[in-house]
Amino acid sequence: MASTVCVSRCRLLAKLEINRGLCLSPILRDLSNNRESWCRRWRPTRRSFFTGVCLHGSKTAPTKLDPENSDEVLVTYRRGLPVITVPLPSRRERCRFTLRPVSQTVGDLLEQVKAEDRGVERAVALAADERVRIAASDTVESLLENDFRLLINDTEYYVKSPPQERLSNEEITRLSDVRNLVNQLYEALNVREHQIRKERELRSQLEKLSAELQPLEEKRMSLEMETTRHTSALTWVGLGLMGVQFGVLARLTWWEYSWDIMEPVTYFVTYGTAMAAYAYFVLTKQEYILPDVKDRQHLLTLHKKAKKIGLDIVQYNNLKDEMDKLQKDLARLRDPLHIHLPPSNTYKIDDIKRSPLTKIKDMLEGTTKKMKIT
């Protein structure tokens, strides 16, 4: 009896253990799956880290990909700019880089790849056939002329450059003819009217400046005449003083004293004149030349008297500069070599009487006739 009870209890305990194991099996399966997924996520990171270290210390050759199957790096043109799509090794994502062919270099492209993915420790561009490293200073334009290889860490990609369409000589000539025709039509339709409107604006500005300059010009003319008289009087006074000096020295030499006595006196007078000229140079930083001395004295007198009569020299000079600039712009606007118009002195009376719209219409008809002839 006791043995049967023990056997039944053992069977009951065995059933409980089996049921407990069956209940825990899904949980253990989930734990194993989680452990396996965690290991799988961790292993590529460790592998890429140690691979980058080994690349620097060992000389193992990188894994090569077949050019036909290595289409992971794509180069396309969007809005006239090359766009290269590169797979990033850390997260296995594809990143698109827009390049500027002329201003950017190969080094800029590689630096952009490294900045986008910190796991990229080595990025090199190689020639497709010769497997020679392309310098970082080469432009992107020269890089895209031929196929090349892009080496990122230990993976090598074969990059096919998209075909570049080039215009033939006939197409370039035809495009140049069309461009010239468009320019001629634009000039015939718009330039003449624009020139007339611009000329009217410049003339109105010149008239406004002339009205502002008129009172200042009157004051300047009166002041100029007075200053000229004052400067001329000073020159005559200088000539008179030189004559008085000559007379005094002649009197002392031939009447009062002898030549032996007056010779050292004339020497010191001459040397004193040279010292005065040198002192003029020290003070004015200009050589003692009579026309320059006269002009300087003229300007000094002009500015001194302009303050007395209330003439603003600075305002007058600014207005004159603006007026001179407008006159140059007007002369350049009327230049027949730049606007393809006949010179102003060859206008006929009939041309002057016609309206601008009629002239533009006649010019357009002449242009169309030339186009039909050609």
Average pLDDT for 171-190: 79
pLDDT at 340 over 70: no
* Confidence grade of residue 332 (pLDDT, cut at 50, 70, 90): confident
* Confidence grade of residue 329 (pLDDT, cut at 50, 70, 90): confident
The secondary structure element, H or E, covering residue 120 is none
pLDDT at 100 over 70: yes
Average pLDDT for 112-125: 88
Q: What domains lie within the chain, and their CATH numbers?
A: 74-159 (3.10.20), 171-373 (no CATH)
Nearest to 195 by CA among 347, 351, 360: 360
Q: Dihedral through CA 78, CA 83, CA 88, CA 92, nearest 10?
A: 30
Average pLDDT for 289-300: 82
CA dist., res. 23 & res. 242, Å (int): 135
pLDDT at residue 277 in the model: 86
pLDDT at residue 45 in the model: 35
* Confidence grade of residue 130 (pLDDT, cut at 50, 70, 90): confident
* Confidence grade of residue 58 (pLDDT, cut at 50, 70, 90): very low
> What's the one-letter identity of residue 350?
D
Q: Which residue has the tokens 């000329």?
A: 199
Report residue 222 as tokens. Answer: 């009166």
pLDDT at residue 198 in the model: 82
Neighbours of 365 (CB within 10 A): 11
Report residue 253 as tokens. Answer: 């030499």
Nearest to 234 by CA among 158, 172, 296: 296
**DSSP per position, 77-109:** EETTEEEEEEEETTTTEEEEEE--TTT-BHHHH
Which tens digit of pLDDT belongs to each residue from 187-203? 777 667 777 788 888 88
Which tens digit of pLDDT belongs to each residue from 17-37? 555 544 444 444 444 444 333
Q: Are 355 and 361 in contact (CB under 8 A)?
A: no
Q: What are 121's strand-pairing partners?
A: none
pLDDT at 56 over 50: no
Nearest to 201 by CA among 190, 213, 209, 189: 209
Q: Return the SS3 of 333.
A: helix
pLDDT at 235 over 60: yes
Q: What is the CA radius of gyration of the chain?
A: 48
pLDDT at residue 169 in the model: 76
* Confidence grade of residue 315 (pLDDT, cut at 50, 70, 90): confident
Report residue 307 as tokens. Answer: 């303050």
CA dist., res. 313 & res. 232, Å (int): 23
Q: Where are the beta strands (DSSP E) in 153-226?
A: 155-159
pLDDT at residue 291 in the model: 84
Average pLDDT for 240-259: 87
pLDDT at 251 over 80: yes
Q: Beta 81-88 vs 93-98: how paired, if at all?
A: antiparallel
How far is the CA of 16 from the CAs of 12, 21, 25, 52, in angstroms? 6, 9, 14, 54
User: How does the average pLDDT of the chain come out, rounded?
Assistant: 73
Please indicate whether residue 96 or residue 60 has the higher confidence score (pLDDT). Answer: 96
Average pLDDT for 99-104: 88
Percentage of residues in the chain having pLDDT higher than 70: 68
**DSSP per position, 12-39:** HHHHHHHHHHHHHHHHHHHHHHHHHHHH
